[in-house]
Amino acid sequence: MFIKSFKFYKSKTTEPDFSEVLDFQDPNEKFVDKKRIEVKGNESYFSLISPKEWQCYEIKDRPGLIFIRNPFTPSGQRFWISRCLKDYPKSPNVVNLNPKQFSKEAINDWWNCFQTEKNDCERKRLKVSMRWTTLGYHHDWDTKVYSENMKNKFPQDLADLTKFFATTLGFENYSAEAAIVNYYPIGTTLAGHTDHSEANLDAPLFSFSFGQKAIFLLGGQSKDEKPSAMFLKSGDVVVMSKSSRLCYHAVPRVMSCELEPYNNFNSNEPEEKKCKIVNDCDDENFWTPFRHYLKDSRININIRQVLNKGQLEL
């Protein structure tokens, strides 16, 4: 059932029927519950709107899956997008680019190489070849085992952002220790899988999406179950907690989205919500290369806690 849905939404020969895809821009009450979240404290966090204004949903029959409809400010989105493209793919973080096919410079600082490349064909190759960067404990795609020998410092800003979501949603003692930043040019997919390599399988998994939209499938703990399909748009946050933590999921389709909040910059955004670093992202000269990249691409940051409470290393 999972594979059947995956193929249905992936189809390139005929445009699939999207009528069963949940759209949280216009949530259907038959399938979606509006979740009231208890806001802990009055605080907001840089790059986000106040948690009091978050639109938070649960899906009927999918316990533990929490969906927050874009809680980022437009310049907040710009900030995280620029981190994912310009900074996170830098060495010592690990990227998928193969040393037999790409220079050391590209592997160490992909964005800089992509931006300075003069040859259009090579630029295009650099753009579409970048598929993932890993942060913190590096995901080993072959063995699926994390180790202390394959680990770098997790970016503090991203750890703090994730901790803010965790605390606000009532997940205490959360610690972001591993992340995969996925880059999806339109036309690419991510096959059905579960994320079970972490020593800690109780801590929720956090997912932040930016750029063009995706169809995300969330199934059960076996591939026999028919998955729910939903659109993930720029800024949307998905939390896979409790019984959805180990469920099959996939991205069968990335497609153009009518919403591009990171480009529709609102200069009336209250100054107090910004910090200096986010303000820099408002500069159109700074933003233009990111705007170009995102025209036909999606980015997803997928964050995990690896260690159990009190565990200091693997």
Ligand X SMILES: O=C(O)CCC(=O)C(=O)O
Residues at the site binding ligand X, with contacts judged by CB under 6 A: 180, 182, 190, 195, 207, 209, 214, 216, 232, 249, 251, 300, 302
The binder of 216, among Fe ion, ligand X, none, by C-beta within 5 to 8 A per type, is ligand X
Q: How far is the CB of 194 from Fe ion (least distance, A)?
A: 7
Which residues have C-beta within 8 Å of that of residue 132, sequence separation ≥ 6? 95, 96, 180, 181, 182, 183
Structure tokens at 3: 């594979």
Q: How far is the CB of 110 from Fe ion (least distance, A)?
A: 22
Residue 236 · residue 65 · CB < 8 Å: no
Cα 146 vs. chain centroid, distance in angstroms? 20
Q: How far is the CB of 15 from Fe ion (least distance, A)?
A: 26
The binder of 251, among Fe ion, ligand X, none, by C-beta within 5 to 8 A per type, is ligand X
Taking the least distance from each CB to ligand X, the nearer of 244 and 300 is 300
Taking the least distance from each CB to ligand X, the nearer of 213 and 274 is 213
Residue 65 · residue 238 · CB < 8 Å: yes
Taking the least distance from each CB to ligand X, the nearer of 113 and 247 is 247
Binding part of the chain for Fe ion, among 150-158, 194-202, 225-233, 262-270 by CB under 5 A, reads 194-202
Helices (DSSP H) in the chain: which residue ranges?
2-10, 74-82, 104-108, 110-116, 120-129, 156-168, 276-281, 284-294
| Member of 109, 177, 195, 236 binding Fe ion (CB under 5 A) | 195
Closest residue by Cα to residue 205 from 298, 300, 140: 300
Instruction: Determine the Cα–Cα distance for residues 215 and 10; give it in Å rounded to an integer.
Output: 9
Taking the least distance from each CB to Fe ion, the nearer of 112 and 197 is 197
Residue 239 · residue 204 · CB < 8 Å: yes
Comparing every residue's Cβ against ligand X, the nearest one is 300
Taking the least distance from each CB to ligand X, the nearer of 164 and 210 is 210
State whether residue 107 is helix, strand or coil.
helix
Per-residue DSSP letter, 83: I
The binder of 207, among ligand X, Fe ion, none, by C-beta within 5 to 8 A per type, is ligand X
For Fe ion, the binding residues (CB under 5 A) are 195
